[in-house]
Each structure stands twice: as structure tokens, then as C-alpha cells.
Amino acid sequence: MMLEMLLLPYPLLGLLLLTLLGAALLGAALLSRQRAPARNKIPRAQRRREVALQQMAALAQRLREQEPGLDTKPILELPLVKLAQKLQAEELSLESVLCSYLEEALKVHQEVNCLTDFLEECEEQLQALKKLKKSERGLLYGVPMSLKDPYDCVGHDSTCGLAQFLEKPAAKDGVLVKVLKAQGAIPFVKTNIPQTLLSFDCSNPIYGQTRNPLNLKKTPGGSSGGEGALLSKGGSILGMGTDTGGSIRMPCSFCGVYGLRTSRSRLRPFPSGAELGSWWVGICSYTGIASAVKGKKSVATVAGPMARDVDSLVLCLRALLSEDMHQLDPTVPFMPFREEIYSNTRPLRIGYYESDGFSQPSPSMARAVRLTCRLLQDAGHEVIPFTIPRIEYAMQKLYTGGLFADGGATLLQKLEGDIVDPSMKALVTQLRLPDLLKCIMARILKYIEPRTAQDLEMIRGVKTPKKLWEQHTAVEEYQQEFIAKWRSLDLDVLLSPALDPAFSIGYPPKASASSSYHSLYNMLDFPAGVVPVTTVTLQDEEELAFYKGYYRDRNDRNFKEAVEGSVGLPVAVQCITLPWEEELCLRFMKEVETLTKNQKEPR
């Protein structure tokens, strides 16, 4: 359709475009001959998952036979902090808790297809935990938890949804996994992701499409979509995700759960090689987390916890920020959780915005911010309007330019011989276009689809080391500009919309510009967490009929279609702080959670 639009007014140019496109398609056809190895691996991986889930069901059965009268409902209803207390006090057995979550996770998977692997070593780990003295038990003693696919677990693949990473099991646990186990947690499943992790849908050619348990026509978001779906439906009580452009926060807002994106250097995870670059860095070690595109510096991928309340995130962060992390990975500074910041009760000075100026928010997104501001003001906090400086420059030149500084070469290399998932086809097609064609199309579309034109320009890459250094410098300068504006208003924290409600399946690649609400803070490297505060109302849905968007382009039209039919789905807000202030971010999140749970919103 885009080519037809271009060819009609420019017949000679159309001939040139078709010639160049034909050359690109010929190259793609030659590449398709390499796909046989990938297609051979995928059925084997699918059979391995079937066997693993059968082993999971068998373990659940064995554990249930030990306690035939086990009632799982009271266990599954316990919040994490209470569950951890009962496990420490031996009021609940490790077997009963693990059995409860094994059974529930299998039920959720049957409904939404969220699991990729069963970590059978959890049974052996449970037996080892039972031998510990009380003084040796960690903060997460006996807590079953789920992990996003790229977290390395010894003997298991970390696929990132890519066939190239199949049949390459991890030789050892990643650093984060080791720390969690040292704290007594029992990782028992790995969860689904989109191919390459560069999408906020949740689909790949190996394990298929994960659906949102709150509405099966909707996506759970991505790239930590399997985690969001499993947590939302109660199949896990604590999970670990990763975040490059909202990959923790979008699934949490789409599925109505809580998540935190940490600062890059406070949890730094993964050199393993299953995602897309040096995306992985954060408050924990990224050693042992796979990536499809390693080497990126100006757009950070970080690790972070996902859970069903703020207290669970706090407990997880207390456990992670231990001396174990620094000992296992000396590049991560030893900076324990600062209780005095989290427990402080002084009123906050809170900046807020309803729109970032790049993507018009849905009616429910804007209403959620207004509602939260009113509650915060009534509680004695001060709220101050805030505007994002130079948002187009930040999102297109800095974020997109940083993400594809290599012109997408690393990503395309990881996809060689693979089947490209529908959620990735549009991006991969653009990246595979000859550079001249990208340049020509960008110049033409500048007057028709300016955001698409700028994206085409940015995915051409920076070309030279000098340009790459200039790009890194531009990111640093923008970060300082943003911080200066923050400090000029003497802000403690910032409140913004989270991207929601959940998109209909298939729409994330068609309305990707709307991810600006989350991806900005990856480029800035600010801690950011999401808290569900309300649900989509019938009035929100009625107001959506008048949605036009700021650019009135295809992205705006697709966004409107993507969020239609969402009455009753969760709507969250985003809580943001300056780098290294995770404790303050969690304190702000807890305040929002408490106020919204205690209030009765007027009809």
C-alpha cells in the first residue's frame, strides 16, 4: 500500500524504487535457502517443551500425593511478604507452596500459552533448602518464581525467540539467577517473549503467541509478556523481566501487575548472547542474560522484578541488592537497599504530565494521571506540571538512532536462517531495504508520514565511529538537559502515563511510536515503575471515538484501533525518579498504590 501511494505521483521514481526493491527481494530469496536448519530446530524445541511440561505436571502430582488434602487456594491468595513469612516460620511446607504454583502455572499456560520451559532442577533445590539452618535461609526462602526466557539457567536454552539460539543450553546459571537462589528463591519456569525481544507483542516462531488472560483478543505486551500474563492470572507470585523500551512496564500495565525498571549500573545482567545487543545492564549483573543485539551503549536494557504488589518488588530488590551480587560480578557496585529512603514519609514534590507531546494518550491514560494527581494532592503532596523537552529529537534521533546505530546489522545477523515472526516482519523488511532506497523513501515520506520518514533515516545507522561517539555525546547532553529541567522545578519524582490499555494482538508493530511513554526512560536511564490505578470505563471508550492523534498518521490511526474494545481492562501510571534512586521510586509507587486502593473513584 505504501509503494502504491508513492508510485502514483512519481512514475519515474517508482520505476527506480521497484528496481531497488526487486534487488532486495532477490537477496531475501537467497537468504531463505538458509532457513532449513532453523526450521529443523523449531519442531524439536516444541517437542522438548511438551516433555518439560509433562515433567512439570508429574512433579506437581508427586508433591500432591505427599499432601492429598492440600487446598491451594489459601496459598495462592497470600501476598509474597506473607507467604515468605509463613515459609520462614514453617507454617507452610516448601512442597505445598511449590505444588500450588506448579498446578496453577500449568492452568494459566493452557489458557494463554505463556511458558517456554520447566526448570526441573527446582525439585533438587527444594530438597537442598530443607537442609538449611534457620540462620542460613535467605529473604526469599522457598518462594517459587518465574524467569523471562533470556535468563540463563544451567542446562536450558535462552532463546530470545530465535532459532539460532536453540540447542545451546547455558553452561551455568546467570549471576542474577545465582543470587536469587542464594536468597532461597526457587525458579521453576521460564516464560515466553517476542522474537528478538524488540517488540511489545509476545509471539515468536518457536513457542507461538501468548495472550492476555484478561482479554484473549489482546496481547499481554512485551517483551516480558509471558511474565505479565502468568503473574496476572496467579500462576507465579514473583518474576524477573528485562526492559529495553518498556519491556517490563508495558506487560505490567497491559496485565494489571507491578514492575520496576532499574538504573543501568545497579543490577547489571547479561553477556550471554540471546538478545539483541548490549541492552542488558542494570542494578543487577547482566552476566548470564541472553541478548540479540549486544554492544548498544546509549539505549540500556536492564533487569527488574515484576509482581502483584509494591511490597513484593521491595522484598525482591532487598534480596538482589546483596553482597552476593557484587561478589559474583565485581562490576556491580555493592549498594544495599536504603531503608531510610524507602520508609521516609515527608511530602513529595511531584512533577506530572498527561501527554509526552509525541503520542496522544488514550482517554484512559490521561484520566489515570488526573485521578492520581488528585489523590496525591489530597494526601498532602505537591504536584507541578512538567513538559518533556524536545521529545521528537529524544525519541527519533536519540532513542531510535541509538537502538539501530549499526543499521540493524546485528539484528539481521541473528535472524539469518530463521523464520521471521509476523510481529517483526515490518521492522525486518525496513532494515533489509538497500540504504539508497531508505534514503529516497525517507525524503518522500517526510511530507506524508514524518515519523516514518525519520525512523527510516535513523535505521540507516551512524556509519562511522566518529558519528557513533557524537550520538553517545548527544544522549549524555540530553540527559543533563532533562535533569537540569527536573532540578529547576525542585522535583523529587515524576508521574506520567503508562502505555495502555492492552493492544489487540497484531497491533504493536503498527503503532510502535506510542511506546515513547516508556522508551524515553531507557534512553535517559531513569528508574521507572508502573502501578495499576483504574480500569477503562465506558466513557473512556466513548471518548476514544474522537481520538485523532498529534500527527494524524497511520501510527495514530492504528493506536486508536489497537486500544478499542478495552472496557474493564487495567490502566496504570508510571512513577519515575533520577538515576540510582530505586528506593525513592518504590516509595512513590507504594504511595500511589495505597491511595488508589483506598479511594472510591466517583462514577
Lowest mean pLDDT across 92-96, 545-549, 553-557, 595-599: 595-599
Residue 295 scores a pLDDT above 80:
no
What is 146-170 written as a DSSP string?
EEETTB--BTS---TT-GGGTT--B
CB 85 within 8 A of CB 140: no
Residue 355: its pLDDT value, please? Answer: 98
Q: 310-320 vs 582-598: helix axis angle to the nearest 10?
A: 160
Residue 390: its pLDDT value, please? Answer: 98
Q: For residues 30-47, give the mean pLDDT.
A: 74
Q: From 476, 484, 487, select the one nearest 524 (Cα to Cα).
A: 476
Alpha helices in 489-568 (DSSP H): 516-524, 538-544, 554-563
Per residue in 490-521, pLDDT (tens digit) is 999 999 999 999 999 999 999 999 999 999 99
CB 198 within 8 A of CB 277: no
Per residue in 314-358, pLDDT (tens digit) is 999 999 998 889 899 888 888 999 999 999 999 999 999 999 999
Percent of the chain with pLDDT over 90: 84
Q: From 129, 142, 127, 161, select the one nearest 424 (Cα to Cα).
A: 161
The CATH architecture assigned to 42-263+297-331+348-392+476-600 reads Alpha-Beta Complex (3.90)
Q: For residues 121-138, give the mean pLDDT.
A: 98
Cα–Cα dist 278/263, whole Å = 15
Cα–Cα dist 240/307, whole Å = 9
Provide the 3-class DSSP secondary structure of residue 177. helix
Cα–Cα dist 578/16, whole Å = 49
CA atoms within 13 A on the CB side of 158: 27
Q: What pLDDT band is residue 280 in, cutting at 50, 70 and 90? A: very low
Cα–Cα dist 132/106, whole Å = 29
Q: Which residues contact 176 (CB under 8 A, 6 or more apart)?
A: 151, 240, 267, 269, 284, 285, 286, 288, 289, 303, 320
Cα–Cα dist 228/222, whole Å = 8
The region that residue 580 occupies, defined by phi over 0 for left and psi between -120 and 50 for alpha, beta otherwise, is left
Cβ count near 169 (within 10 Å): 12
Residue 287: its pLDDT value, please? Answer: 64
Question: What's phi and psi for 170, nearest 5 deg?
Answer: -65, 140
How distant, in Å, are the alpha carbons of 81, 91, 295, 339 from that of 88? 11, 8, 42, 21
Residue 72: its pLDDT value, please? Answer: 98
Residue 40: its pLDDT value, please? Answer: 87
Residue 272 scores a pLDDT above 50:
no
Per residue in 346-376, pLDDT (tens digit) is 999 999 999 999 999 999 999 999 999 999 9
Residue 224: its pLDDT value, please? Answer: 98
Q: From 270, 240, 242, select the one nearest 172 (Cα to Cα).
A: 270
Q: Where are the domains of the chain?
A: 42-263+297-331+348-392+476-600, 393-475
- Compare 297 and 557 and report the one with higher pLDDT: 557
pTM of the model: 0.92
Per-residue three-class SS string for 346-371: CCCEEEECCCCCCCCCCHHHHHHHHH
Residue 299: its pLDDT value, please? Answer: 87
Q: What pLDDT band is residue 249 in, cutting at 50, 70 and 90? A: very high
Q: For residues 244-264, give the mean pLDDT.
A: 97
Q: What is the mean pLDDT of the chain?
A: 91
Active site residues per annotation: 148, 223, 247
Residue 569 C-alpha cell reads as 481492562
Residue 291: its pLDDT value, please? Answer: 65
CB 305 within 8 A of CB 312: yes
Q: 80-88 vs 94-112: helix axis angle to the nearest 10?
A: 150
Residue 297: its pLDDT value, please? Answer: 72
